[in-house]
A and B are shown apart, each in its own frame.
Chain A
Amino acid sequence: MPSRPLHAFFASALVIALCLPTLHALGAQGEYNPLVYERLEVTARVSEDGAVTVTVRATLRNDGRVPVVPGYGKLPVSGIRQRSAGGLPLPGQRRVNLSVTVLSARDLTRNVDMEVVPLWENGSLVLRYSLWQPLRPGQRESFELSFRIENGVARGVLFDEFAFGIGPISNRVERGRVVIFPPAGSRVTYASPGPGSRGESVEWDLSGLPEGGRVRVWVEFSPLPLPMLPIKGYLVFWGALIVVMLVLIASRALRRSEGRRPRLAPRARPP
């Protein structure tokens, strides 16, 4: 028999917290939400067929006083689609279940694959990934999750519209960004709100986003060699054409009505 004396341990957060009796209290919510996104990068690459490949790369840090295990992280994926009839778009939207394919999930800190399970919660799809590594106070963990959705873009004729929302994010974001790449052969003709940087891709800054924050961006692509415009390209392009057509038709109509003015005298018919 071991000579160790019998003892009973009661592991509890109470014991750990009692070692620090004079620290200031966190807010009630802060006690249970000690994780912070030290870095959150969301990249969306749009393909020519309208599919979107999203890559989320994040580093979570434990800003609390005791070790925590995130356990599960959640990435709800939802879609809103425009109403249509006979292939023509109609006003109004409806929620749709998107077709999602998980491409890869990796725990970058431990360099192992991360388990991702698609779940249905309240009729919506949630990608639930697992983070089982305990994080000591101040410790961080990085992971990357990549998935593709089909038909993520509202297809037009010469212009495609892409609206992308991130959030609400349950934890504060220290540094982060959203980057959107247009399909090959297309360029960005419109982006709202004004992106932080533009070039082949457009980028917005997520740094400082508070708990519960959300960001919604709208991007338009087109194969036409147009610069980025302050208004949606399809409105500008087709609107300009319509105006030109209307001017032409109006001028033609005016000319036609001039040609119908009464003759000065009937012409005598030759005998």
Chain B
Amino acid sequence: MNRRGVLGVALLVALLVAPGSSQVSQATPDAPLSVYLTEIVNATLETDGLFYDCGAWNVTGNVTIYNGATERVFDVWLPIWLDTTLTYLTPLSVSEKPSYAYVEVSAPGASIPSWVLNSYPSSGFGDANSMHWVHITELQPGDRVVLTYSIDGASISTCPPIRVSETIDPEKIVDGQTQDIEINITVVNDLPWDVSVKLRKILPPDNGPSDGWRDAAGNPVFTSAGTPTSGGSGLSTDGKQLNWTGDGSWPDGWFTVAANSNENLTGVVVRGTPDLSEVGGSTQKVHMGTIYLRFTLARAISGSRVGYLYAVGDADFEAKKEQDTSTPSTWYETLVVYDTSGTFDYEIVYTKLWATTTANPEGTPIAGSENEQVGSPIAVIGPGEASASYQYGPFSFSSGSVPKVWAEFRARIERDETYGWMNYTNTTVGVGPDGRSKFIVREMIWVVRGYLVKAKKEVRPGPVNNMTCITIELYNAGEWMTPYVEFYDLIPLNFMAKESDASNESMMFFPIEMLAQDADSNSPPDYSQVVTGLTGYQKGYLWKTYPLPAPQMGFAEWFDGPGAANVKTVTVTLADGSTRQWTVYPVDGSTINVNGTNYAEGSTIAAGGTDFLVSWVQNTLDTGAGRVVVSAKGTYENLNMDVYNPVVVHYCVIGKGDYNLTDIFVVGVDPRNTLDATAVFMPSAGVEFGAATFEQWLVIAVAVLVVVGVLLERRRKSPSQ
């Protein structure tokens, strides 16, 4: 057996590394040659429960190739597919490499060796010509090369495909009042893969000097951790942190959000007392906590992928030549490749054998001696004994003289988690030096100074066919009396409101003394103005109320029927701002029972120095369901009259078709002091007149000069004395 150490064009270094030495097992289950592609997302979002601002977000990618084996690898060609339609803040570049290694990054379409391209798998690993190729000359045991890139998230999508949205109720709270705010948190996963998520929400600290919250212990604080649809939720012992993780503790583990779906955490409650004097005193949005989101998924969020790696380790080969014993002109050529690596399996992708008559491998090959094969792979050989070699041939050819046999081959490390290379891809979020995630959602809430007009509109079927009944409740949930409030409702086309009817379905306003302008002296109907000639609507009704007092507030509740079985607990607010819990049920269509005592419609309930008027007990409560309205009383001093909070309008419409619900429009008040209704600033454009002239004085001056001129002329012409 002749052994020829022929190099040819092969880049293999035929060095034997102690073949029998035991291999150190990998510290992790990762492959001996591992490629890690990790993308890290940073984002800052802001929400106020209604609107959502995604701001700028970015993705930083790290590609690490690590040689965890105990032997060197060489001639590494690492393909990385990047989405070139995105905006790269920094392009793919080397950020770390060993000093001995030469690393070069080429853009797609650059020239790379044919043996790498031709052996690239035809499917499953992308198109070799669209890859960024990274060439590393050598990577010794324990060393790594790191490449990085960063992407402007806005070029992927306006908002990160994994994000958190929130709703808060109420969206506006009143300055100086302690209120419970219910929050629902939704984790949105717009990606086609499952994502593992955990998050925590941290409230502003107790004594922040200018955060808009009163400086007091436990302000604000979580009072309920809510109920999640996936994972578990819990609170920290001081109530300042809400955790949504696998089990509700922090950091615990992940919960899963399935592909293209959401998971919700509902019923989280924050209790707080805002203090606008810390931030200037006027109605504005105040920061109500930050969500720190973490997630991980086994993909790159920008779509980046690692292709099929080409790398080589230790191997040896020999080209054998044998002469036929019976026919001396017949020769046999064989190539044997040996896996001398102690760790890696090799995929042989190319072999070639040929013979020449001269000692020049580039000389004219002997006819019939050229044999070559390509495959992806042709064969796989592994370290160790039995499968450690591959034989190509023997092939025969004729030669009159002693030929020189040459061999060439290419082999790459196999893609295998135990005996080769493997890539691992994931996306996660950045973490700051404080240990908090760098994917944050800041939540803001409106804090309102003064009055807060809250409108509620309920629609229910009426007692007869084709009848729909609408009840509008107007509350002042603020701290000061409102100005005159006007609210406006629309009747859809093909519906008619029953303004005045012998039945109970007329348009009625409770308490009637709060209707500041009554277009019709009869009651019902109770409205201030009717608007006709609208496009797309049958009519509009406007109600103008006297100022609603604060902080005292009653209630408007729906009961399923009369009797103690339908009792409800309601909260009322007294004139001093304190609250009471009452147990209430309707007795019949004109009487209610409050805390054990019956009160007739129109009578007064005295509680803690505040009077409450039983404004309305719906007649339907004689035998069925209906509404009860009890309004707290205050005084409007300008007119020396009693005013009430809340007020209610009830009317029914007859018509066919779907009742298209419209919003309640509140007009004429500061729209920031309204809740659950649509209100806008009134368009205003003033004109001013005012000019000045002093022409009269100039005329007088001219006249004086004329007189002076005339006098001078006369004196000039008069005889001298």
Contacts and interface: CB of A to CB of B under 8 A. Distances in A.
Interface in A38-93: 40, 42, 52, 54, 56, 58, 60, 64, 66-82, 87-89, 93
A69 B677 CA distance: 11
Interface in A106-150: 107, 109-110, 112, 130, 132-134, 149
A35 B531 CA distance: 21
Given A32-B680, A245-B709, A246-B705, A89 B688 contact: no
B696 A157 contact: yes
A132 B687 contact: no
Interface string B529-540: 001011111001
Chain B facing A: main interface SS: mixed
A170 B682 contact: yes
Contacts of A88: 696-697, 700
Contact of A166 (B458, B465, B686): B686
Interface string B136-155: 00000000000000000000
Contacts of B165: 21
A238 B680 contact: no
A202 B663 CA distance: 45
Interface string B466-483: 110000000000000000
A42 B716 contact: no
Given A79-B688, A170-B685, A242-B701, A72 B667 contact: yes
Nearest to A76: B686
Contacts of B668: 71-72
A191 interface: no
B468 to A, nearest CB: 9
Range class of the A interface residue count: 35 or more
B702 A89 contact: no
A32 B680 CA distance: 5
Nearest to A132: B531
A153 B692 CA distance: 9
B100 interface: no
Given A134-B665, A242-B698, A242-B701, A42 B461 contact: no
A226 interface: no
Contact of B690 (A9, A81, A158, A167): A81
A99 B709 CA distance: 44
Nearest to A234: B695
Contact of B460 (A8, A37, A165): A8
- Which of A68, A159, A255 counts the most chain B CB atoms within 10 A? A68
Given A166-B687, A170-B682, A241 B692 contact: no
B471 to A, nearest CB: 10
Contact of B51 (A11, A23, A133, A246): A23
B684 interface: yes
A231 interface: no
Contact of A13 (B677, B684, B706): B677
Contacts of B678: 13, 66-69
Contact of A71 (B667, B708, B716): B667
B28 interface: no
Interface of A: 1-2, 4, 6-14, 16-18, 21-26, 28, 31-35, 37, 40, 42, 52, 54, 56, 58, 60, 64, 66-82, 87-89, 93, 98, 107, 109-110, 112, 130, 132-134, 149, 152-171, 216, 218, 234-235, 238-239, 241-242, 245-246, 248-249, 252-253, 255-256, 259-260
Interface of B: 46-54, 158-159, 165, 167, 169, 171, 188, 284-285, 456-463, 465-467, 486, 488, 490, 531, 533-537, 540, 542, 558, 661-665, 667-668, 671-672, 676-702, 705-706, 708-709, 712-713, 715-716, 720
Please give me the 7 A-B residue pairs with the lowest Cβ-Cβ distance, nearest first: A71-B667, A80-B690, A156-B695, A76-B686, A238-B698, A25-B51, A163-B691
7 contacts: A40-B685, A54-B687, A66-B678, A75-B685, A157-B696, A157-B699, A170-B682
